[in-house]
Amino acid sequence: MVSKTNESCPRCVQGKLVTDNESGEMFCSKCGFVITEKLQESGPKWRSFSQDQNGDRARAGAPTSLTMHDMGLATIINPVNKDASSRPLIVSMKSTIERLRTWDSRSQVHEPVDRNFRQAFSELNRLKDKLAISDAVIEKAAYLYRKALEKGLVRGRSSSALMAAALYAACRDTSTPRNLKDVEQASNIKRKDIARCYRLLVKELDLKMPVTNSVQCVARIASRIGIAEKTKRYATKVLKQAQENEVPAGKDPMGLAAAALYLSCVRNGEDKTQRDIAEAANVTEVTIRNRYKGLKESLDL
């Protein structure tokens, strides 16, 4: 297979330069004069072990991530005992390389900061699986924890509690519907400890947290107890009307969403009790009754 270029032959000037992709030669199409016998490969250096999200070969290794203690930038000594020419190492060199591998692995977590990060991010990955949270939220939580460590907020406090608080702050910042009770159950840490660390993060890192939208909580509650799509849409409509009338101000978004769902179930004749919805939303039945009464009065339903 050959490919023709627009460059002229330096010898006869009349011919065009042609490249043979198999042999690597570049020669003139008219007089046959060979310009070069070998061509430098100008394409990317593919790695056979790495693939991108489309399944194609990728040029680089794994992407960097804040959720790893070294951000994924650390290097390791190849475990295969072969040299650059793929020849087996001699016995003396093999023992030397084994000793270097041991010290290399030890040196990666030599600093107390690295040990702290490794412990905290392993806890973060566990919470990610339990709460089913996206990678973007996890990256945000890791970023907040790194900033807290830089400011010395971890000293004298539980790293697990601070990590749980950073995750809750990331959920609030990205409008992911997860409340303190969810984080408490997943992390097995007392709610007041997580709340204390959360307030510390907001104050020291000067975080501006958006108000959670109760509409985003509707789908989560409805999917837990199997509420119909028609009922969900009516509950969303009720909440949007309530927001126009400024009803949700100062009220728990999850409790408000639960009350709107109960009101929608009553309106559409769906057989769901206050207890069912309260258990799905992690709120009390009293909260649903109070918010239900407030929604009916404000919207004249």
Ranges of each domain in the chain: 2-36, 112-204, 215-299
What pLDDT does 166 receive? 94
Determine which of 2-6, 90-94, 120-124, 287-291 has the lowest per-residue pLDDT on average.
2-6
Whose structure tokens read 């056979």? 48
For the stretch 162-201, pLDDT in tens is 999 999 999 988 888 788 888 999 999 999 999 999 999 9
Classified by CATH at the fold level, domain 215-299 comes out as Cyclin A; domain 1 (1.10.472)
Rounded to 5°, the CA angle 58-64-67 comes to 135
Mean pLDDT of 45-72: 59
* The 3-state secondary structure of the chain, one letter per residue: CEEEEEEECCCCCCCEEEEECCCCCEEECCCCCEEECCCCCCCCCCCCCCECCCCCECCCCCCCCCCCCCCCCCCCCCCCCECCCCCECCHHHHHHHHHHHHHHHHHCCCCHHHHHHHHHHHHHHHHHHHHCCCHHHHHHHHHHHHHHHHCCCCCCCCHHHHHHHHHHHHHHHCCCCCCHHHHHHHHCCCHHHHHHHHHHHHHHCCCCCCCCCCHHHHHHHHHHHCCCHHHHHHHHHHHHHHHHCCCCCCCCHHHHHHHHHHHHHHHHCCCCCHHHHHHHHCCCHHHHHHHHHHHHHHHCC
Q: Which residue has the tokens 């509409």?
A: 215
pLDDT at 301 over 70: no
Radius of gyration in angstroms for the set of CA atoms belonging to the chain, rounded to a whole number: 31
The whole-number average pLDDT for the span 253-281 is 89
Check pLDDT > 80 for residue 116. Answer: yes
Listed range (29-33, 35-39, 82-86, 238-242) with the worst mean pLDDT: 35-39
Are the CB atoms for 131 and 125 separated by under 8 Å?
no
Q: What is the 3-state secondary structure (H, E, C) of 104-118?
A: HHHHCCCCHHHHHHH
Q: 215-299: same fold as 112-204?
A: yes
Mean pLDDT, residues 75-82: 78
Least reliable range by pLDDT among 104-108, 155-159, 238-242: 104-108
Q: For position 55, what pLDDT does the model report?
A: 52
Structure tokens given for 26 = 């570049």
The two most distant CA atoms of the chain are separated, in Å, by 95
Residue 144 pLDDT grade (very low, low, confident, very high; cuts 50, 70, 90): very high
What is the side-by-side strand order in the sheet with 2-8? 2-8, 16-20, 26-28, 34-36
List, in order, residues 6 or more apart from 14 with CB less than 8 Å away.
8, 30, 31
pLDDT at 230 over 60: yes
Structural tokens at position 287: 């909260």
Q: Which fold has domain 112-204?
A: Cyclin A; domain 1 (1.10.472)
